[in-house]
C-alpha cells in the first residue's frame, strides 16, 4: 500500500491456448503498471494436453499470483480476450464444468474478495500475453529463462480478426432472436414504461407490428418462444407464437427495468422533477431511479435469463420477446461495449435483434433493430 494509504493498482494481462482443444496447451501472463505501461513481471508455461478454457484459467491464476508477488495489497484489473473466463469470474455466467469451477475457486483465492475486477479485451490488445503462450508452446522461450519486462509490445500492424461465424471450430451457435414488444400508448408517447406495472396493452399499431414479426419469422426452425411476463410482451409473444405454431413460456428475467417514480413520465418531465437523480442515472449504471432498479441489476438478471435459454436450447433458435433495456443489455454484453453504450441504442417497437452465442461464450451481433 502506498504511503498515502491508497492501494496500488496493477493490470494483469493473461491468455491461454490449446492446439487441438484439447491438445498441447500453454498459458502466458504479465503484470503492467497502469500509469507507465511498464511490464513488471511475466510468466509462461506449457501445460501438456489441455483445453483452451483450462489454459485460459491457468493463465489468469498465474497472472494474479505474479501480481500478488509484486504487491499483495494491490487492486488488480485482469484483462483477457476470453469472454467465457471474464463473464464467469464476474459472476454473470454459470459454471457447469467441474474443472473450470475448481480453477475459478483457485483464482478467487489469490486476492481477497473485491480486489480483482475483470475486463474483456479484443485479441489484438492481448498480443503480449498471446506471444508468451506461443513461445511456451513452441519451446522458444521457456518460462524459467524469461526476464521480467522482456515482452515485446504489439506490432503496429494488427493480426487479422477471426471472422465470427466463419471459424469452424466455434461450432453451431444458439440463435437468440430478440423481439421488442409492439407499440403501446406509452411507447408512442415516449414515456418511461418499466416493470413496476403489468400494463399497458398493445395498441393497434403494436398488434400489427407483432403480426409482422411473426410473419417474418415463420418458416424458420424455431425451438421455442420465451417472453417477459409484462402484458405488452405476452401479447406480442402470443401473436408470434400463434403464427409459428409454438406455445409461449414466461421467464421473469426478461422483464423491463423497473423505473420506479419515473413510470409514465417523459424524459423532459423526469428532468424537471428529478434533475439530480436523472443526472446520476445517466452517469452510472449503478444508480437507480427513485424506487426503481439499477441498470446493472437489470443486466445481471437478463444475463441469467439468457443463460437459461442457452442451457435449455443449445445450438437452436429461440425467439425472446422482451423490452428495450434487455435488448440493449444483451447487445452491450455481446459486443463487450462499455456500460454507457446502453444509452446509445434504441431498438424500435416490434423490431428484431439477433445475437448468436457459441459454446465457448463467443458472441456475435447478426442484426439490430430490424424493422419489418
Q: pLDDT by residue (tens digit) across 159-195?
A: 344 556 666 666 889 999 999 999 999 999 999 999 9
Task: Give counts: helices (H), strands (E), the chain.
Answer: 11, 11
* 41 against 125, higher pLDDT: 41
Q: What pTM did the predictor assign?
A: 0.60
Q: Which of 165-169, 243-247, 280-284 has the lowest mean pLDDT?
A: 165-169
Model pLDDT, residue 20? 77
Model pLDDT, residue 23? 83
**Is residue 227 helix, strand or coil?**
strand
- Which sequence positions are flagged as catalytic? 181, 256
Cell of 323: 423490452
Average pLDDT score over residue span 260-281: 96
Residue ranges per structural domain of the chain: 9-161, 170-370
Model pLDDT, residue 186? 97
Average predicted confidence (pLDDT) for the chain = 89
pLDDT band at 215 (very low <50, low <70, confident <90, very high): very high
**Is residue 294 helix, strand or coil?**
coil
CA distance 154 to 325: 37
Asked whether the CA dihedral 353, 359, 363, 367 is positive or negative, the reply is negative
pLDDT at 15 over 90: yes
CA distance 85 to 88: 5
Beta bridge partners of 16: 27
CA distance 325 to 298: 8
CA distance 290 to 288: 6
CA distance 282 to 159: 36
Length of the chain (residues): 372
CA distance 299 to 331: 11
CATH 3.30.420.10 correct for 9-161: yes
CATH 3.40.50.1240 correct for 170-370: yes
pLDDT at 149 over 80: no
Which tens digit of pLDDT belongs to each residue from 19-35? 877 889 999 999 999 98
Model pLDDT, residue 206? 98
Model pLDDT, residue 197? 83
Amino acid at each position: 500500500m502506498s504511503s498515502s494509504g491508497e492501494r496500488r493498482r496493477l493490470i494483469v494481462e493473461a491468455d491461454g491456448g490449446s492446439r487441438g482443444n484439447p491438445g498441447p496447451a500453454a498459458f502466458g501472463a504479465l503484470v503492467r503498471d497502469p500509469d507507465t505501461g511498464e511490464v513488471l513481471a511475466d510468466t509462461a508455461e506449457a501445460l501438456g494436453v489441455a483445453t483452451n478454457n483450462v489454459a485460459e484459467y491457468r493463465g489468469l491464476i498465474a497472472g494474479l499470483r505474479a501480481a500478488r508477488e509484486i504487491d499483495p495489497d494491490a487492486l488488480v484489473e485482469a484483462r483477457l480476450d476470453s469472454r467465457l473466463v471474464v463473464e464467469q469470474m464476474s459472476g454473470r455466467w454459470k459454471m457447469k464444468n467441474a474443472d473450470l469451477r475448481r480453477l475459478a475457486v483457485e483464482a478467487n483465492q489469490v486476492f481477497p474478495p473485491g480486489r480483482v475486477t475483470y475486463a474483456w479485451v479484443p485479441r489484438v490488445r492481448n498480443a503480449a500475453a498471446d506471444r508468451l503462450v506461443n513461445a511456451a508452446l513452441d519451446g522458444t522461450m521457456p518460462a524459467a529463462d524469461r526476464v521480467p519486462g522482456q515482452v515485446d509490445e504489439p506490432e503496429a500492424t494488427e493480426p487479422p480478426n477471426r471472422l465470427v461465424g466463419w471459424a469452424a471450430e466455434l461450432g453451431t451457435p444458439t440463435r437468440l432472436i430478440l423481439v421488442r414488444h409492439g407499440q403501446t400508448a406509452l411507447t408512442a408517447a415516449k414515456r418511461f414504461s418499466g416493470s413496476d406495472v403489468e400494463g399497458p396493452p398493445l395498441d393497434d399499431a403494436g398488434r400489427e407490428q407483432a403480426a409482422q414479426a411473426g410473419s417474418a419469422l415463420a418458416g424458420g426452425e424455431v425451438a421455442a418462444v420465451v417472453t417477459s411476463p409484462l402484458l405488452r410482451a405476452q401479447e406480442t409473444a402470443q401473436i408470434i407464437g400463434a403464427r409459428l405454431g409454438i406455445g409461449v413460456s414466461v421467464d421473469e428475467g426478461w422483464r423491463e427495468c423497473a423505473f420506479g417514480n419515473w413510470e409514465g413520465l417523459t424524459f423532459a418531465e423526469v428532468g424537471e422533477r428529478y434533475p439530480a437523480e436523472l443526472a446520476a442515472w445517466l452517469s452510472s449504471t449503478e444508480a437507480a431511479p427513485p424506487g426503481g432498479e439499477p441498470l446493472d441489476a437489470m443486466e445481471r438478471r437478463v444475463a441469467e435469463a439468457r443463460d437459461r435459454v442457452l442451457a435449455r436450447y443449445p445450438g437452436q433458435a429461440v425467439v425472446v420477446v422482451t423490452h428495450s433495456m434487455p435488448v440493449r443489455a444483451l447487445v452491450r454484453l455481446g459486443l463487450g461495449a462499455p456500460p454507457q453504450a446502453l444509452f446509445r441504442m434504441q431498438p424500435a417497437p416490434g423490431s428484431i435483434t439477433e445475437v448468436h452465442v457459441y459454446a465457448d461464450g463467443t458472441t456475435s451481433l447478426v442484426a439490430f433493430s430490424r424493422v419489418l
